[in-house]
Structure 1
């Protein structure tokens, strides 16, 4: 192919792990006309936004990082939020991405022009930008999900979501209501419970919580990592093999689940036995198959629930009053602070951006039966457009950074294809997407996420078929290596290539 200097112009929306990693690789591949649009004032994505007490990664640090930029001096096996954010800032500086980022710039809409083969991007402030290639690196976990609790507007106290933590609100001596008991609550409840006068956790469904084998790395380990980089790579490989060879089969294959589930369940129950109150312990035992929801890790969550000032309520919250929350059993629970630990709007892969492709078709309309994309990246009818951490690219065990690096390699190949001055646009074929998605959903039917008997954020209403089943638009039903193989080479025959 004959390349055109500077072409294609590339727009990336978001500067978290996915957006930064892609920008770094594109710059390294010689793409100069590159802009990263970031609505916040700093890089980091979810690690910039989630600053609640105890925020940390639940995948080991050595694997939760770019393969091309290992960090020898992680302080702990499971890195805390400030350290991960610092790592991403370091990467943005080192690889020259900062000069390509427009901070405080939210993309409100993106419209494809088939005549020019370009995307017209409009910012929230009304500016218009054009790009040949558009990448949405917004992620699945970027927009907080806030339940519409009737009467919450009349609550006289303070309300905030865990992803928008109010650090100016002192929780010492407060009567706190925590709505939700997922991954965020498991991390921050142990930090705030000891200082609270009263803390009530409103639990919709119990979670499987395993022991968090966390520890601080000694200085000797850091020194050895610096002197012998292979040591850190071997550590990273060992963690990768643990996830790929042991944990992942438990989630995706019925035979693997039977073999390994009993062992992991026993470990989780050992953690549960740290709760001394028998009646409380009974409320914390899940009734669904292990792995159906994300398995959480914590060494102190159950101990926090066992404190005398902490209560766990299993009746659903139905409304709020000025003085607290009322549950379905008619009880009112006093509170002066309500913290929503209710997760994220996992269907909003491009939120708050509105995307229109060929014939002005809206992406929300294309996804009315549930989000789907070829290899989690390309959507038919939306040329020169790719998603990162899109539909069905989440992993139930392992590190999503490995999945992102697979996508980065694939998108860089697409950018190289668009260097050809004769190519107007490339659009994944509808039949290719349909075939991929049908096979994907068949594989998902046998996984614990679909067949484990729980209600999780992995499942979405719509597109479940005549039997009423809900559609899994989140998880990849295979190994990380399997995804790497599928995305290693972009096959031009998967796309409709339109020439100028």
Structure 2
């Protein structure tokens, strides 16, 4: 088994969609098997293994939230639920025999670049026994994801509370909620999925602490009929066309995020406001209708949450939390509310790298990010000073409107093209130049500064008003265009024993096509979106030819 070895050409860290998907790409496209998947948990799945709270589901239509290589005709609903998604991933593992490449219950302590040997020394620790082991690899693929480290706010005297507390990402199924007084801290995507379900039991009294209102969208077509699943199964082309139509429709939604000041942004805000007013109790309108424009924070697919607010056993409060005591929570207004169970639905830490990795200069990733004002990478994938290192779903690769699985697949294709010269022996290492990284990030930050994400505090940012490090400022088809092939002039390379000139060049036709598209889109944008878009149109898409 590959996992019994200590030396590998490629080490993949994380066995979620990103890690498993990249392994599948290696096997399908190259027939490559000299890799190891390091996973700190006892099984595959990543966020879909860990998040088992009631009602956990995707907020992107499931036929676009799955691998293009492995479409599934019998998804039960338009939006996949956690057990079904996890089973889908287990099926991928079985189909591609990936379990034999996995090292489970193993956390990465550190990864250090050895310039002399041109490899990474990866220190790992067995999470069950504490035993240490070193793995060496020529290439490191970090696929730990951005929703892997639960964030629990440092509320005053939280440790004093004598009841039960847990985070929604580590749901305590052994804790019965029947007849209990339950506090839910947070009102993001996870909370709005599980709160309606736990509040169905009238014996459960739920008080939800809402710090900031969120925007809600009605869930469309929740279930697939048996006839539809039969058609998808017997006419795969129809299923693939369905996927393409979902992708096209959702990717056009970037206009709502980016041109929020124009006509379509105003229409979106009006429609979503009207939906909330029709669905939620009027007494809560001030707590559930935001002042900021839609898209600034993650949009929430409403799965019955707003309707559940009519239930007498569910109370929504905007009072801040002053501190905990032994029996409950004291609000900033001085009110004491007793609780038996407190559930944190407070999201994840997204602005710190989860393990210590040192590059060619000895600088760690977090030190480099600090020097840049927040998470930074070239094309969201590679980082200056970290040779042969690649991040799946790195900085500025999520969108808020599209599928992260699609952007991950774009990265898979790019990584194979990028590292092919290393595995063939033409190169021993490569890393992006600081100048190329600065140019790329300056451009996307310039675009993000005029986008909807600049209008509020969110987990997309490094602090309340800091760098926007998570969002990609455009349609994902543009991201595909940028990563369709490596620009070797943007990389520092070290030649190997089998060195050949690395293919370079510029295609003039690509410039012409891109310019034509920009002119058409610009003219249409001015005509359709109005004056609110003019400041945006002065910032063209980043050019990659």
Q: TM-score, normalised by structure 2?
A: 0.86
1:413 match = 417
Higher relative contact order (CA 8 A, sep 6+): 1
Partners of 1:217 and 1:240 in 2: CA distance: 18
1:143 positional shift: 0.2
Does 1:278 find its partner at 2:282? yes
1:466 match = none
1:299 positional shift: 3.7
Structure 1 residues 55-454: aligned runs within 5 Å: 55-124=56-125, 125-195=131-201, 196-245=203-252, 247-254=253-260, 257-275=261-279, 277-348=281-352, 350-351=353-354, 353-368=355-370, 369-450=373-454, 452=455, 454=456
Partners of 1:274 and 1:330 in 2: CA distance: 33
1:473 match = 469
Partners of 2:115 and 2:447 in 1: CA distance: 35
- Give per-residue Cα distances to partners, 1:366-416, cap 9 Å, x unaligned: 111211000001110000001011100011101111100000001111231
Contact 1:395 1:475 in 2 (8 A): yes
Partners of 2:85 and 2:267 in 1: CA distance: 31
1:274 positional shift: 4.2
2:508 match = none
- Give per-residue Cα distances to partners, 1:429-469, cap 9 Å, x unaligned: 1111111111110011111001x3x211111139xxxxxx5
Partners of 2:458 and 2:467 in 1: CA distance: 11
Partners of 1:42 and 1:214 in 2: CA distance: 32
Partners of 1:322 and 1:461 in 2: CA distance: 31
Distance 1:416 1:179, change over 3 A: same
- Give per-residue Cα distances to partners, 1:169-205, cap 9 Å, x unaligned: 0111110000000000010000001224311110000
Contact 2:269 2:293 in 1 (8 A): no
Cα RMSD for the two superposed structures:
1.5
**Is the partner of 1:176 in helix, strand or coil?**
strand
1:128 positional shift: 0.3
Distance 1:332 1:234, change over 3 A: same
1:499 positional shift: 2.5
1:281 positional shift: 2.2
Listed as ranges, the gaps of 5+ residues in structure 1 are: 1-6, 463-468
Partners of 1:495 and 1:80 in 2: CA distance: 41
Contact 2:280 2:309 in 1 (8 A): no
Match of 2:460 among 458, 461, 469: 458
**Is the partner of 1:481 in helix, strand or coil?**
helix
**Is the partner of 1:62 in helix, strand or coil?**
coil
- How many residues of Structure 1 are paired with residues of Structure 2 in the alignment? 481
1:4 match = none
Moved more, 309-318 or 15-24: 309-318
Listed as ranges, the gaps of 5+ residues in structure 2 are: 1-6, 126-130, 497-545
Distance 1:337 1:473, change over 3 A: same
Partners of 1:33 and 1:68 in 2: CA distance: 21
